[in-house]
Structure 1
Amino acid sequence: MKFDLHTHHFRCGHADGTIRDYVEAGIAAGLSVIGISDHTPYFGHKAEQAFPHIAMAKSEIVNYIEEVLSLQKEYAGKIDVLLGIESDYFPEHAELYRATLAAYPFDYVIGSVHSVHGVSIFNKSRWKKLGQQQKQAVKAEYYRLIADSARSGMFQILGHIDAMKGNYPEFCDIPAAAEIDEALRVIGECRTAIEINTSGGTKLCGGWYPSDDILERALHYGVKVSFGSDAHKPSRVADQRGAVEARLKEIGFKEWVYYKRREQIAVPIE
């Protein structure tokens, strides 16, 4: 059973291809399950489409959902098309997001922290002129937000939990073992999964999210793992899935999971 739960398409403004393109790419890659999980609109912003190169307009979410559900029916028997979505975690807007997303029949919601102190985690300029203590404070806040996102109960999967290293590989060298362990403990207790996300290979850090060290500690805390390529073009669907499965087996994981109708389904690691 091969699956990829994290894919985007043209509506977010920074990905290529239609949803159908990703479904067809999933079939070509030998997947049994393909999850479509484009970025939510910015529900907490007054504008209809606050950031057109980051996320879809508010009015587009209905079209998005209808298209995925239509393709789900069309491709039944060929590949299982799941309706997912990737949601930012904004504590100040959490209840608005919770109520809005609950109105739709998502199979799963991926919760991702994309900004800390109002600055994108991928903005490498944010680290300029920061001393070591300031860098540690930023990293600690990042993992505090991730832990809070798990506590919120809004998400089945947490997205790319060390993606802050994406355009700043030195992020890995900033001490934060206690904060990471606390986040993993909370995630395990909340029975939320984390994804292994291979889009790190498209960033300066290379590799995937999270690091092997975090995965080893996640296993210790009983955290479930899932898989997502975070594909922003169809050719990346299922990227490195086999290598990830092999590494998880080496670390000691026996299974990984996906979600359908918000129910967790375990798949043995081969």
Structure 2
Amino acid sequence: MKFDLHTHHVRCGHADGNIEDYILAGIEAGLQVIGISDHSPYFYHAEDQPSPGIAMARSDFANYINEVLRLKEKYAGKIEVLLGMESDYFPEHIDAYRKAYEGVPFDYLIGSVHQVSGVSIFNRNRWKKLDEAGHINEKKSYYELIEQSARTGMFDILGHIDAMKGYYPAFSDIPAHEHIDKALRTIGECGVSIEINTSGSTKDCGGWYPSDEILERALHFGVNVTFGSDAHKPSRVGDEWELVAKRLKEIGFSHWVFYRQRKQVVVPL
């Protein structure tokens, strides 16, 4: 069974195409299951849409939910459409997000850390003024946030857990193995999955999130994995799915998962 749980669309302000375009692209790519998971609004912010190029407006959230549910019905029998969301994880604002999601019939939620110390994880300039100890501390902080996000009980999947390497490939060489292992151990204990996200291949790092090394450690700690293209244009839906499946089997995984009504569906590799 071929699936892709991480797709975006025009509402977030930095993706092309509407939701239906991604569903049609999923059918074309041979998917049986496609998850719609656009970026969450900044629910904690006083403004309706403080960052139009990053996330949808809070006032558009209900429209997003209703559109996905409508298309789920429209395409039933052709492709299974799942209602998801890529939710920011800000520990100081967790209650605002938890309240916003109450009663919404999500199939799954992806929890993603997009900021560390108030700076985007994709901002390569953060590293320029840091010495070796500063580099280690930033990486430690990142994995502490990822570990915390697993403990919230809010998320089914954690998104792109080494995405700080996206525009700074040297991130992977910063020594912080014990912090990564601690996060992975917690993720496994909490029954949360991680995604293999192929959008990393479009960034400077040139490889998927996370690295093979982290995937090997995830297997050791009993962490389940899922697949997400993180497509921001319809043509990337399902991108490199077969290659990921092959690599996971080489690493030693026997299955991966997707989610329906917040419950894991196990798919043999």
Question: Given the two structures, how large is their TM-score scaled by the length of structure 2?
Answer: 0.99
Is there any run of 5+ residues in structure 2 with no aligned partner, and where?
Answer: none
What displacement does 1:230 show? 0.1
* 1:185 equivalenced with 2:178 (yes/no): no
Deviating 4+ runs (over 2 angstroms): none
Q: Give SS of 1:63's match.
A: helix
Give 1:44-63 correspondences, 5 Å limit.
44-63=44-63
- Structural mapping, 1:162-201, within 5 Å: 162-201=162-201
Cα displacement (A) at 1:101? 1.0
SS of equivalent to 2:257? strand
Show the counterpart of 1:97. Answer: 97
Q: How many residues align?
A: 269
The one-character-per-residue Cα deviations of 1:151-204 (angstroms, maximum 9, x if unpaired) are 011100000000000000000010000000000000000000000000001110
The CA distance in 1 between the partners of 2:42 and 2:95, in whole Å, is: 13
Quote the Cα distance in structure 2 between the aligned partners of 1:220 and 1:268: 18
Report matched runs for 1:78-157 at 5 Å: 78-157=78-157
Secondary structure of the corresponding residue to residue 219 of structure 1 = helix
Q: Is residue 228 from structure 1 mapped to residue 224 from structure 2 by the alignment?
A: no
Please state how far the C-alpha of 1:103 moved relative to its aligned partner. 2.6
Q: Which residue of 2 aligns with 1:206?
A: 206
Q: Deviations over 1:87-135 (max 9, x none)?
A: 0100001111112112311100000000000000000000012100000
Matched position secondary structure for 2:17: coil
TM-score by length of 1: 0.99
Letter in structure 2 aligned against 1:31: L
Q: Please, what is the CA RMSD of the aligned residues?
A: 0.5
Question: One-letter code of the match for 1:37?
Answer: S
Determine the structure 2 residue equivalent to 1:245. Answer: 245
Partner of residue 9, structure 1 = 9
Question: Matched residues in 1 for 2:64 and 2:70: separation?
Answer: 10
Aligned 1:19-34 pairs, distance under 5 A? 19-34=19-34
